[in-house]
């Protein structure tokens, strides 16, 4: 079920939603089954309404870890043929297949769901004068904006997003996540206040290896959207997650800022807090708030940002959405509710609620693969 | 000629049972409307001189006075209305250009009044400004394209000079000469107290006010009156005035009788000589010339001050602004067709330019389309009347707004639109010492501070309702606006949806 | 002690202070009723020169000549305010002659009158100050 045959018109109007999120991360890079994160989402069933659920896993494609894994929804065969022509032109396709699913009566109307392991076509990449990542980003944006009936919903290396219209636990079953293993998982259950969600509109939203699950409704949306669209991004879904992902991509990949600096921009401290800091820190925070003022995000949000080798949990500056973080050995957990964490690990070393605007960043021991 | 006789527009209604013959009205009217007839112990009024400024009404201790619109009328005619007919008589008598003051009063649409602001319900919380921090501080100036790091990896502050405003409102340009010393002092002191800026206009900066330099924007206009090195260095920013909303395309004229004493000294022109600002800057006939002036001014001030370019909102404003955004200017101020003036030809004031709402929306959109919105900050002026207008302007894309008429109203102006006479009964648009002293800056500055403090509270309330706790998250946030009674074109230009959508 | 001070820089000579003073001391509720067709005799007066004007009223001197010179004890200092006891005043006008400011004047009822900071009338606080449109008369501690 893709956007053009949907009454809900996702991408044409903005739909606020409430949500549940959860995440797990192994600092030692230990592989954890996707089943764990699905179980965590199950106990937060009431935070979703069956109109969207999804997961992102990192380290799940070790055999293809140097290739971009494109996950694509197709409306029908002709859309697929059309889009594949483009994919073939732009990329070397090393492997392609349907993404394996397990039929369940609770997930219906599924589109064609395909996966491609690709590398940018060497000559095309040279001609474009872009770096590899930017090349892939532009191709993905191209498909999502100009190929009717095709939608790339995951495009990172050694990671993948899986999402659908349904309750998260059913989405996990549908995509057979128990058959995947990764060092990091994030999960999302959606509670849109509007008409049925569209498969592409479910979370996580990803761009390259960034994936975001988010609970909240940001009040700064249009200020952020109109700013970020100046830099080549197109917000086609009109969802918060989409714009937040682009912001993170812009600040980390294009501006080369660290994740802590990103948090200081998007969930900036209040001026009164900044005033109370020592002069150097005050100048740094003032600079970031001033130079990137249009990327401040207001309104409630709790997000889990997954990236290669790391995960960041962040709340809005007033902490208007719940989020709990916990540790046990090398494992780090985060979720909207403590119950979900206890489901993953009943005996915890430490559990706490991070302050509003205070990021919790975890990376693989010995440095993240690609910690930006 | 008898045809030149104009029946007065207003009548002075005196309730004689309340009048105690204190003669305050008589003493306070610079137009000499009121007089006392000793023999009969009664007050006379010559309404033909009345400009309806309400000075007498406001000071009458027994509320014995009111001004009413005369019901004397011409034969009704929807085409040739009263004003149109009278103007013909005036011009055929005088042979002169009609002059008016303050902003365009005609019935063009006020788009502020056709836009409504959003509020949060259920899906996200509104924020209570009494309990949570609510921030209205803004920085004006160019933002860096890329960050830079020092050798130790720390961020380098590569920002060009910025203006820091405690709230997104500034006082726009009004020259010393067009308004009084006391009005200037009120604006300067209020700016300092509020943490914002006022603007010298093209009249130079009186030496007494150099102490407020940190809160002063010094203007360089086409006549270059009062411009010298210390002047440029005195201000926090320099504004190049290319145009004014009330009179796009023409210059200014301060008559010689107002060029007296300190005004002549401050403007650096001889007493009694007319101060005529040419229509264009004669060293700016194109955009590349503007770039030269921008950089001349920056050179002259060692690149320590942001440069503002102020333009009137005219048809092609988006393209003009795009050119300015690439000229090295740090801030663009756009002045809508309702902006005020001390004097302008009536035809120009009432027929030239476009509404600020449309100009602002199209400039902001164009600069974003071209990816250069971060090159400049946008300041919108030209009839911002209240805090809701401020919020709407920022949601359309402004970084801050300029107000002037509102500030003058706070100082006592009653919008009688007779500034050009120089007989302002409220001590604002006059240089006559006995009138100037009617504006006590101790009171004037307090009223300005009160006004903007009240607006700031209201802005915070409106922001809190939208679930926004920092003003930067409102900038360009057009989803927070909905239109009512606007056609597709208007909605498209404003970049907003219709209410209910 | 709080006193009435004038700042001639801001005095417009509008004379509202005179009328507010006169009204406050009539005890009437309505100014029009109180002052219509009345030649007022206020305790504060505007002095005008060529281009200067200011209001003059009792300074409430710390060592007041009027009180010193009063032969009947009608003038006295109460809490720093110089008050008139009309019953004791015999209208000798010694105080009028001795006041260097001309702030004491004869009243319509024979006794002298002077500014008593409106403490005896319904205004309660100086009416001239409350009614000055330009902050030229202030009531403050200095």
CB pairs under 8 A between A and B: 112
Domain-located, residue A372: no
Q: Please indicate whether, in this complex, the C-beta atoms of C31 and B27 are within 8 angstroms of each other.
A: no
B156-211 pLDDT, tens digit each: 999 999 999 999 999 999 999 999 999 999 999 999 999 999 999 999 999 999 99
pLDDT above 70 covers a percentage of chain A that reads 92
Alpha-carbon distances of A274 from A14, A280, A355, B144, rounded to whole Å: 33, 11, 16, 21
Residue A1 confidence (pLDDT): 36
pLDDT higher than 70, residue A254:
yes
Q: What is the 3-state secondary structure (H, E, C) of B132-162?
A: CCCECCEEECCCCCCCCECCCCCECCCCCCC
CATH number of C60-114: 3.30.70.1140, 1.10.3370.10, 3.30.70.20, 2.40.30.10?
3.30.70.20
Q: Which two tokens stand for residue A286?
A: 């003032």
In a domain, A296, yes or no: yes
Distance CA C121, CA C114 (A): 13
User: Could you tell me if residue A371 is inside a domain?
Assistant: no
Question: What is the three-class DSSP state of A176?
Answer: coil
Contacts of B266 (CB under 8 A, 6+ apart): B176, B177, B203, B204, B205, B206, B207, B226
Cβ neighbours around B265 below 10 Å, total? 15
- CA dist B282 and B223 (Å) reads 9
Contacts of C19 in chain B (CB under 8 A): 20, 22, 24, 61
C110 touches chain B (CB under 8 A): no
Please give the Cα distance from B321 to B367 (Å, whole number): 8
Give, as one character, the DSSP assignment of residue A111: -
Question: Which chains sit next to C, with 3 or more Cβ pairs under 8 A?
Answer: B
Q: Please check whether residue A369 lies inside any domain of the structure.
A: no
Contacts of A284 in chain B (CB under 8 A): 154-155
Dist. CA B444–CA B177, nearest whole Å: 18
CB contact under 8 A, C16 and B22: yes
| Range(s) within chain C of domains with CATH label 3.30.70.20 | 60-114
Name the residue among C9, C35, C133 with its Cβ closest to that of B59.
C133
- The mean pLDDT value for A21-27 works out to 96
- Nearest Cα residue to A316 out of A251, A244, A228: A244
Using the Cβ of C69 and the Cβ atoms of chain B, whether some distance falls under 8 Å is answered with: no
Q: Which of B132, B373, B466 is facing A318, going by the closest CB pair?
A: B132
**Nearest Cα to Cα of residue A146 among A82, A204, A193:** A82
Chain B contact probe: residue of A221, A226, A272 with most B CBs at under 10 A? A226
CB contact under 8 A, B22 and C38: no
Contact call for A298 and B479, based on CB within 8 A: no
| DSSP bridge partners of B237 | B217
- What letter does residue B470 receive in the DSSP assignment? B
Q: Do chains B and C touch (3 or more CB pairs under 8 A)?
A: yes
d(CA A100, CA A174): 9
How close B326 gets to chain A, by Cα (Å)? Answer: 16
Nearest residue to B32 (alpha-carbon basis) of B44, B14, B18, B19: B44
- Tell if the CB–CB gap between A223 and B470 is shorter than 8 Å: no
pLDDT band at A16 (very low <50, low <70, confident <90, very high): low
The Cα–Cα gap between B486 and B484 comes to: 6
Q: Give the Cα-Cα-Cα angle C8, B193, C137 (nearest 5 degrees).
A: 20
**Residue A134 falls inside a structural domain:** yes
Closest residue on chain C to B442 (Cα): C135
Interface of A with B in 14-43 (CB under 8 A): 14, 16-18
Using omega within 30 degrees of 0 as the cis cutoff, is the peptide bond preceding A204 cis? yes
Instruction: Report CA-CA distances (Å) from B11 to B52, B66, B85, B418, B456.
Output: 9, 8, 20, 17, 39
C-alpha distances in Å from residue B371, one per residue of A226, A230, B145, B400:
10, 5, 11, 20
The answer to whether the Cβ–Cβ distance between B27 and C12 falls below 8 Å is: yes
Distance CA A230, CA A226 (A): 7
pLDDT for res A11: 57
Cα distance between residue B492 and residue B143, in whole Å: 28
End-to-end CA distance of chain C: 8
A216 in contact with B, Cβ within 8 Å: yes
The alpha carbon of residue B188 is apart from the nearest alpha carbon of chain A, in Å, by 25
Contacts of B28 in chain C (CB under 8 A): 12, 14
The span from the CA of B342 to the CA of B354, in Å, is 20
Q: Is the pLDDT of residue C129 over 90?
A: yes
- CB contact under 8 Å between A223 and B146, yes or no, is no
Q: How far apart are CA A87 and CA A100, in angstroms?
A: 21
B83 in Cβ contact with B69 (< 8 Å): no
d(CA A285, CA A220): 20
**pLDDT the model gives residue A8:** 42
For residue C34, the chain B residue with the least C-alpha distance is B20
B-chain CB neighbours of A19 within 8 Å are none
Interchain contact, B154 vs A230, CB within 8 Å: no
> Which residues of B, range 413-442, sit inside 8 Å of C by Cβ?
433-434, 437-438, 440, 442
Which residues 131-160 of chain A have a CB within 8 Å of chain B? none
Which pair of tokens denotes residue C1?
A: 């002690």
Nearest chain B Cα to C19, which residue? B22
Residue B298 contacts residue B274 (beta carbons within 8 Å): no
Contact predicate C96/C104, CB 8 Å: yes
B357 φψ region: left (φ > 0), alpha (ψ -120 to 50), beta (else): alpha
Beta-carbon separation of C16 and B61 below 8 A: yes
Shortest Cα distance from A15 to chain B (angstroms)?
10
* B202, B252 Cβ separation under 8 angstroms: yes
**Residue C19 pLDDT exceeds 90:** yes
CATH class in words for C1-57+117-142:
alpha beta
Residue A19 catalytic?
yes
Q: Which of B64, B433, B438 sits opposite C134 (nearest CB)?
A: B438
- For the sheet containing A159-164, what is the strand order? A159-164, A53-58, A184-192, A17-26, A331-335, A324-328, A350-352
Structure tokens at C33: 């009723």
Contact B468/A298, CB-based, under 8 Å? yes
Q: Which residues make Cβ contacts (< 8 Å) with residue A62, sequence separation at least 6?
A: A158
Supply the range of the domain harboring residue A319: 3-363
Cα A63 versus chain centre, distance: 22
d(CA A312, CA A360): 6
Give the CATH number of the domain where residue A352 resides.
3.60.20.10
pLDDT the model gives residue A366:
54
pLDDT at A369: 39
With CB atoms and an 8 Å threshold, state whether A220 touches B477.
Answer: yes
> CA–CA distance from B369 to each of A220, B308, B319, B373 (Å)?
20, 22, 12, 8
In the block, which residue shows the tokens 């100050």? C129
- Please indicate, yes or no, if residue A45 is contained in any of the structural domains: yes
- The chain B residue lying nearest A301, using CA atoms, is B124
Q: Which chains touch A (3 or more CB pairs under 8 A)?
A: B
- pLDDT above 90 (res A239): no
Residues of C in contact with B443 (CB under 8 A): 134-135
Minimum-distance CB partner of C31 among B23, B61, B440: B61
By CA distance, what is B182's nearest residue in C? C10
Using CB atoms within 10 Å of the CB of residue B219, give its burial: 0 to 12 exposed, 13 to 18 middle, 19+ buried: buried
Provide the number of CB pairs (under 8 Å) joining chain B to chain C. Answer: 59
Number of domains in chain A: 1
**Interface predicted TM-score (ipTM) of this complex, two decimals:** 0.92
Length of chain B: 501
CB-based contacts of C106: which residues, under 8 Å, 6+ apart?
Answer: C91, C93, C96, C112, C113
pLDDT tens track of chain B, all 501 residues?
A: 788 888 999 999 999 999 999 999 999 999 999 999 999 899 999 999 999 999 999 999 999 999 999 999 999 999 999 999 999 999 999 999 999 999 999 999 999 999 999 999 888 889 999 999 999 999 999 999 999 999 999 999 999 999 999 999 999 999 999 999 999 999 999 999 999 999 999 999 999 999 999 999 999 999 999 999 999 999 999 999 999 999 999 988 888 888 888 999 999 999 999 888 999 999 999 999 999 999 999 999 999 999 999 999 999 999 999 999 999 999 999 999 999 998 899 999 999 999 999 999 999 999 999 999 999 999 999 999 999 999 999 999 999 999 999 999 999 999 999 998 999 999 999 999 999 999 999 999 999 999 999 999 999 999 999 999 999 999 999 999 999 999 999 999 999 999 998
- Encode A293-314 in three state secondary structure: HHHCCCCCEEEEEEECCEEEEE
- The single-letter DSSP state of residue A45 is G
- How do residues A99-131 score in pLDDT, each as one tens digit? 999 999 999 889 999 999 999 999 999 999 999
Do C134 and B437 lie within an 8 Å CB cutoff? yes
Please determine, for residue A9, whether its predicted confidence score (pLDDT) is greater than 70.
no
Q: pLDDT at position A13, please?
A: 64
The tokens for A272 are 């009164």
Give the nearest chain A residue to B139 (CA atoms). Answer: A290
Rg (chain B; Cα; Å)? 24
Residue that the structure tokens 């997650």 belong to: A241
Which chain A residues are Cβ-neighbours of B474 within 8 angstroms? 220, 223
How far is residue A326's CA from residue A305's CA, in Å, rounded to a whole number? 16
A196 vs A178: CA distance, rounded Å: 27
Closest partner residue to B437 among C9, C35, C37, by Cβ? C9
Answer positive or negative: Cα dihedral of B276, B278, B284, B287: positive
B212: number of CA atoms within 13 Å, CB side? Answer: 26
Are the beta carbons of B24 and C19 separated by less than 8 Å? Answer: yes
One DSSP character per residue, A97-161 reads EEPP----TTS-S--EEEEEEEEE-HHHHHHHT--HHHHHHHHHHHHHHHSTTEEEEE--BSEEE
Give the domains, in start order, of chain B with CATH numbers: 2-96 (3.30.70.20), 138-149+156-498 (3.20.20.70)
Which of 50-69 (B) contact C at CB < 8 A?
58-59, 61-62, 64
Positive or negative: CA dihedral B77, B83, B89, B95: negative
CB count within 10 Å of CB A251 equals 24
Q: Are B67 and B10 in contact (CB under 8 A)?
A: yes
A290 in contact with B at a CB cutoff of 8 Å?
yes
Q: Does A320 contact B at CB distance below 8 Å?
A: yes
């Amino acid at each position: 079920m893709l956007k053009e045959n949907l009454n809900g018109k996702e991408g044409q109007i903005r739909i606020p939603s409430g949500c549940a999120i959860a995440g797990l991360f192994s600092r030692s890079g230990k592989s954890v089954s996707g089943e764990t994160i699905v179980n965590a989402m199950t106990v937060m069933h009431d935070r979703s309404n069956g109109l969207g659920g999804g997961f992102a896993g990192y380290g799940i494609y070790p055999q293809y870890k140097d290739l971009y894994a494109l996950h694509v929804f197709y409306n029908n065969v002709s859309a697929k043929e059309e889009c594949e022509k483009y994919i073939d032109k732009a990329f070397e396709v090393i492997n392609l297949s349907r993404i394996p699913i397990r039929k369940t009566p609770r997930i219906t109307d599924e589109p064609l769901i395909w996966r491609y392991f690709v590398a940018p076509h060497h000559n095309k990449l040279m001609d474009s004068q872009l770096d590899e990542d930017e090349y892939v980003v532009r191709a993905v944006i191209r498909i999502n904006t100009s190929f009717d009936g095709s939608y790339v919903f995951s495009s990172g290396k050694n990671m993948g997003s899986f999402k659908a219209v349904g309750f998260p636990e059913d989405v996990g079953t549908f995509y057979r996540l128990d058959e995947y293993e990764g060092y990091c998982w994030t999960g999302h259950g959606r509670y849109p206040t509007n008409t049925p969600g569209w498969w592409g509109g479910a979370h996580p939203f990803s761009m390259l290896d960034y994936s975001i699950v988010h609970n909240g409704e940001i009040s700064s949306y249009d200020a952020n959207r109109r700013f970020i669209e100046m830099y080549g991004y197109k917000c086609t879904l009109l969802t918060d997650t989409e714009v937040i992902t682009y912001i993170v991509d812009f600040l980390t990949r294009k501006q080369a800022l660290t994740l802590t600096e990103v948090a200081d921009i998007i969930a900036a401290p209040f001026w009164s807090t900044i005033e109370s800091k020592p002069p150097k820190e005050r100048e740094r925070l003032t600079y970031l708030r001033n130079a990137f003022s249009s990327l401040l995000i207001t309104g409630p949000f709790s997000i889990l940002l997954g990236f290669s080798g790391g995960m960041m949990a962040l709340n809005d500056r007033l902490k208007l959405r719940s989020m709990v973080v916990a540790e046990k050995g090398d494992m780090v957990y985060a979720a909207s509710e403590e119950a979900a964490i206890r489901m993953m690990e009943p005996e915890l070393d430490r559990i706490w609620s991070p302050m509003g605007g205070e990021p919790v960043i975890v990376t693989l021991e010995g440095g993240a693969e690609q910690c930006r | 000629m008898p045809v030149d006789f104009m029946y007065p527009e207003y009548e002075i209604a005196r309730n004689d049972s309340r009048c105690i013959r204190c003669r305050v009205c008589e003493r306070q009217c610079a137009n000499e409307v009121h007089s006392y007839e000793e023999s009969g112990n009664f007050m006379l009024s010559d309404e033909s001189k009345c400009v309806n400024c309400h000075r007498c009404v406001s000071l009458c201790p027994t509320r014995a006075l009111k001004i009413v619109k005369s019901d004397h009328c011409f034969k009704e005619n929807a085409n040739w209305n009263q004003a149109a007919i009278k103007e013909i008589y005036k011009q055929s008598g005088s042979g002169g250009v009609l002059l008016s003051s303050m902003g365009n009063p005609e019935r063009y649409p006020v788009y502020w009044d056709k836009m409504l602001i959003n509020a949060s319900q259920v899906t996200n919380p509104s924020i209570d400004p009494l309990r949570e921090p609510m921030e209205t501080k803004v920085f004006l100036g160019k933002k860096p394209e890329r960050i830079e790091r020092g050798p130790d990896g720390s961020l380098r502050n590569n920002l060009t000079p910025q203006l820091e405003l405690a709230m997104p409102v500034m006082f726009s340009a009004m020259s010393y000469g067009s308004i009084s010393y006391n009005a200037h002092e009120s604006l300067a002191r209020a700016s300092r107290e509020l943490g914002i800026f006022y603007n010298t206009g093209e009249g130079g900066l009186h030496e007494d006010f150099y102490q407020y330099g940190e809160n002063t924007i010094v203007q360089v206009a086409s006549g270059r009156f009062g411009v010298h090195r210390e002047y440029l260095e005195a201000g926090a920013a320099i504004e190049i005035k290319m145009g004014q909303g009330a009179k796009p395309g023409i210059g200014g004229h301060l008559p010689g009788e107002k060029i007296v004493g300190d005004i002549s000294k401050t403007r650096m022109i001889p007493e009694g000589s007319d101060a005529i600002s040419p229509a264009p800057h004669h060293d700016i006939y194109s955009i590349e010339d503007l770039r030269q002036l921008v950089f001349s001014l920056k050179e002259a001030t060692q690149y320590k001050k942001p440069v503002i370019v102020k333009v009137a909102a005219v048809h092609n404003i988006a393209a003009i602004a795009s050119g300015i955004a690439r000229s090295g200017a740090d801030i663009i101020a756009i002045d809508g067709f309702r902006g005020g003036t001390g004097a302008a030809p009536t035809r120009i004031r009432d027929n030239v330019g476009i509404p600020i709402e449309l100009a602002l929306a199209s400039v902001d959109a164009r600069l974003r389309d071209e990816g250069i919105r971060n090159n400049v900050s946008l300041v919108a002026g030209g009839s911002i009347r209240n805090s809701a207008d401020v919020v709407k302007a920022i949601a359309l894309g402004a970084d801050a707004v300029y107000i002037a008429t509102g500030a003058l109203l706070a100082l006592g102006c009653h919008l009688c639109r007779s500034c050009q006479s120089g007989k302002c009964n409220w001590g604002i648009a006059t240089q006559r010492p006995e009138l100037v002293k009617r504006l006590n800056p101790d009171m004037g500055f307090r009223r300005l501070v009160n006004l903007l403090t009240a607006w700031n509270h209201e802005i915070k309330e409106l922001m809190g309702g939208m679930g926004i706790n920092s003003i930067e998250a409102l900038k360009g946030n057009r989803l927070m606006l909905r239109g009512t009674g606007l056609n597709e074109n208007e909605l498209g230009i404003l970049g907003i949806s219709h209410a209910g959508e | 002690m709080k006193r009435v001070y004038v700042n001639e820089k801001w005095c417009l000579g509008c004379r509202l202070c005179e009328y507010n003073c006169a009204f406050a001391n009539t005890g009437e509720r309505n100014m029009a009723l109180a002052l219509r067709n009345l030649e007022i005799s206020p305790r504060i007066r505007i002095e005008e020169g060529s281009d200067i004007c200011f209001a003059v009223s009792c300074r409430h001197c710390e060592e007041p000549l009027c009180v010193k010179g009063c032969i009947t004890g009608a003038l006295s200092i109460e809490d720093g305010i110089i008050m008139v006891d009309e019953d004791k005043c015999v209208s000798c006008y010694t105080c009028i002659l001795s006041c260097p400011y001309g702030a004491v004047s004869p009243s319509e009822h024979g006794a002298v009158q002077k500014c008593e900071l409106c403490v005896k009338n319904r205004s309660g606080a100086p009416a001239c100050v409350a009614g000055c449109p330009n902050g030229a008369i202030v009531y403050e501690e200095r």
